[in-house]
Structure 1
Amino acid sequence: MKRKIIEIDEALCNGCGECIVGCAEGALQLVDGKAKMVKEDFCDGFGDCIGTCPTGALQIVEREAAAFNEEATIEHVRNLGGEEAVNKMLDAAEVHEAKQKPAGGGCPGMQLRFGNQAASTRHQAPAEPASGQVIKSDLDQWPIQLHLVPPTAPFFDGKELVVLSTCSPVASPDVHWRFVRGRSLVVACPKLDKTEGYVEKLAGIMAGNNIPKVIIVRMSVPCCGGLTAITQQAYNASGRTDLIVEEVTIGLDGELLGTKQLAG
């Protein structure tokens, strides 16, 4: 059957083992200092391991592969770590189910929530800007979607590049003045977009323009870690060694949770 499954770039793998810890199904192990797939039917294809990889060696691909075998995987996990490991896998399975069913579930990226507004104000009409004033956008380029931007677009040259998750500017009203102003950007969603070609496109943008810094702006939900992985793979493929790469994480309430330097 054709399905989503993890693919490992051994040239990028540094043998740290973080992906093995991140995989609750026990589908990965270290062999001769490199992460390897133990058995295809142990991999559920959801990519929890991707967000833990510091080098961007892992990605989700769609190809012919054996179907995920939950019963065999549970037995495999039990042999590896006992009932505690099985419970961890089942908890992860609930998260995965929630990702497939948007009506609710355990994943913080899928749960219905109202944020921090008081219940009495949630359905009030927004106040009109004073004297019809419209808040000005800080965006000064088009297009912005990663599939659509040409790698040689002049708005990339000499500017810092923001790799922006689709949800971030909706979750945080600060995104425009904090990250968009004075920078070029591309927008992408690692979960819902067709991400084939994203690594190559980003690598071309990094390699072909005088970009001093790349800032990944992602949400705190696990699936958004794929945006970091794609950007790291692009950085490695670009051949740039002088490029600074940072990851900024935004919480579900719009707060800035932290910044981490990944390269440079």
Structure 2
Amino acid sequence: MKTKVVRDIIRIDEAKCDGCGACALKCAEGAIEIYKGKARLISENYCDGLGACIGECPRGALTIERRETEEFDDEAVKKHLEAQKPQPILPCGCPSTAVQEFKREPVPARGGKAPSLLGHWPVQLALVSPTAPFLKGADLVLAAHCGPFAYGNFQEDFIKGRAVVCACPKLDDFQAHQQKLTEILRRSGVKRITVVRMEVPCCGGLMFMVKEALRASGRDVPVTEVVLTTKGEIAG
């Protein structure tokens, strides 16, 4: 039986909380998650009661209260944080699943060749871990596989300064992608999503995927849809 003590602990006012996820990102112990559109404590023994998250809340939904609760458990927090680290997606340990981040400095194009603006790896939605560090608080682009081939300025217009994942709603495992996107929304604090898809009808499944993932995760983040024509132009 866990020991109960009287101590300081975070109190979350659900009526004020809008589920933005800022508090979850700030909490060094990983004690807060977004569930059904509201912040909540994952476990009371993960919260140290110091209140580092309070100043991050734009709605004033977080306060400190003193009450009887479980003792803060530093060892439990360490195990919890360890479990949140990105894990290989495939049992083979394929290099394509290894999480990488790249620091890209603006470099003038030389000889007509422009440098890559991609800031991380992997990009295939099937290979991306929901806890990948490049997803935390990200402006996320969900791109159709064909988009970068059709639109010549794709990196400059859609990848620069953003996290990007790609998928095909027709040829990939749609259900698995929807579940992965749901976990990303629950655990990463993504701030906005831009869906870049082709004009072909089947590609509209990407927007449906996002809407279902938002519903399942309880998150409410802005979503923008960009439709590309097969001639490499932005429709409309």
TM superposition score normalised by structure 1: 0.46
Q: Does 1:178 align with 2:157?
A: yes
1:48-127 correspondence runs (5 A): none
Deviation at 1:134, TM superposition (A): 3.0
Identity percentage of aligned residues: 43
* Paired position in structure 2 for 1:252: 230
* Paired position in structure 2 for 1:215: 194
* Paired position in structure 2 for 1:189: 168
Q: Which runs of 5+ in 1 are unaligned?
A: 1-129, 259-264
Measured in 2, the distance between the counterparts of 1:195 and 1:131 equals: 40
Name which of 200, 212, 217 aligns with 1:233.
212
Letter in 1 for 2:142: V
Aligned partners of 1:160 and 1:184 also within 8 Å: yes
Letter in 1 for 2:231: D
SS at 1:179 equivalent: helix
SS at 1:193 equivalent: coil
- The 4+ residue runs of structure 1 with deviation greater than 6 A are none
* Paired position in structure 2 for 1:198: 177
Deviation at 1:194, TM superposition (A): 2.2
* Higher deviation after alignment, 141-150 or 186-195: 186-195
Measured in 2, the distance between the counterparts of 1:232 and 1:161 equals: 14
SS at 2:125 equivalent: coil
TM superposition score normalised by structure 2: 0.52
* Paired position in structure 2 for 1:55: none
* Paired position in structure 2 for 1:92: none
SS at 2:175 equivalent: coil
CA shift in 2, pair 1:212/1:131, >3 Å = closer
Aligned partners of 1:159 and 1:212 also within 8 Å: yes
Report which structure shows greater RCO (CA 8 Å, sep ≥6).
2
Measured in 2, the distance between the counterparts of 1:178 and 1:133 equals: 18
Aligned partners of 1:217 and 1:247 also within 8 Å: yes
Measured in 2, the distance between the counterparts of 1:131 and 1:223 equals: 38
Measured in 2, the distance between the counterparts of 1:191 and 1:217 equals: 15
Letter in 1 for 2:224: E
Letter in 1 for 2:183: G
SS at 1:237 equivalent: helix
* Paired position in structure 2 for 1:6: none
Letter in 2 for 1:253: K
**Superposed CA RMSD:** 1.5
Superposed CA offset, 1:185-225 (max 9, x none): 11000111122311110011112112110010000010101
Measured in 1, the distance between the counterparts of 2:111 and 2:129 equals: 36
Measured in 2, the distance between the counterparts of 1:172 and 1:210 equals: 29
Measured in 1, the distance between the counterparts of 2:110 and 2:158 equals: 28
Letter in 2 for 1:250: L
Aligned partners of 1:206 and 1:240 also within 8 Å: yes
Deviation at 1:149, TM superposition (A): 0.2
Deviation at 1:161, TM superposition (A): 0.6
SS at 1:164 equivalent: strand
Measured in 1, the distance between the counterparts of 2:150 and 2:235 equals: 13
Superposed CA offset, 1:71-121 (max 9, x none): xxxxxxxxxxxxxxxxxxxxxxxxxxxxxxxxxxxxxxxxxxxxxxxxxxx
Aligned partners of 1:159 and 1:182 also within 8 Å: no
Letter in 2 for 1:245: V
Q: Which runs of 5+ in 2 are unaligned?
A: 1-108
SS at 1:197 equivalent: helix
Measured in 1, the distance between the counterparts of 2:189 and 2:149 equals: 29
